[in-house]
Structure 1
Amino acid sequence: MEPTTTDAPTGPDQSALDRALLEEAAKKSGLLWVRADGQAQSRALWHAWHDGAVVVVGDGIEQPLHGLTAGQGAEVTVRSKDKWGRLTAWPATVTELAPGGEAWLGAVEELKGKRLNAPDTDTIGDRWARECRVLRLAPVGPLTQQPGSMPDASHAAAPMPSPATTRKPIPAGLPKLLFRKR
């Protein structure tokens, strides 16, 4: 009798499975974390999946894209939509899309649908062309993290500096007021 193994497949089949996991995770998740090469911390960014890559818009009054520049590398981490835990991570190449170009127009159409509460829904593309950068983060190389091969380290990060303070403890009687029967 031949011994059976339950190891994950390798080779071309695994590459296709990795690509499918990467794409499905990026499409379903509303947020992803991006760490530019040379940066210490990742930043949460809203995004869209378009033409085989993640696209993000930022700067101006949109989300900040600190440290992400064209020609640079980055690591993209995506969470699971149902469990909210880290699902996969991969290296990416950053490309800035030229405003008005075919790739830029396609990316902007995808991003418009993901942008919530925009102050200028009708003219958002014009504003993005003037004030913002649209970046394409294309996957390169194999997945660095995936189910079955996650790192043992926590990956917890210290909170970003903020002038916000911790509120005082709630008054002892408040739960009784909130949850009393009417």
Structure 2
Amino acid sequence: MFFRYDHEARRMHRRYWKTADRRAADRVKLDRLAREIPAVVPGAAVAADQPYREEDLAIDFAEDVPRLSDEDIARIVAMFEAAGAVAKVSSIHVNGWFGDFDKLSMTRRAMAEFFDRDIDAVRDDIVFAGDSPNDAPMFGFFPNAVGVANVRDFAGRLPAEPTWITQGRGAAGFQELAEALLAARE
């Protein structure tokens, strides 16, 4: 899913991977998991930003709750997968959804639909920044992929690694990248 506001037309464009009916059916299953996972995995919680998510369920394991063990995180992933969902670990959440899409497939669609760009033709011109395993498809596709330092927490467990890693973690790493890009323009 992605949104883009068209200032000229004064209209928000929304694109979804699935139909409205399919999203509604999947939401029923995700809502069930939102009740079941915290009941089975002590300390896990539905993410605070869940009301703003349309296609996934985010289970918090380190943002607003004390960090859970790797074993508990694996249990959350297993519960999503047992329900037939895709599950990806980020630095703070396990995100689960139904469907065969990821950040790269939606980025590919956004670039084609909104920017009339073939992502394969411009991939060398794009810098992607991420911080966790759910960014691996982007790390593997973009030669100029940057991971903020906390991506090192997943060393050896990513299907694709970023080309560069910042010194700073989280927002400090993103700031470091932004400053490097601005300095390179001068």
Normalized against structure 2, the TM-score is what? 0.28
Larger strand proportion of the pair: 1
Larger Rg: 1
Higher RCO by CA contacts (8 Å cutoff, separation 6 or greater): 1
| Structure holding more helix per residue | 2
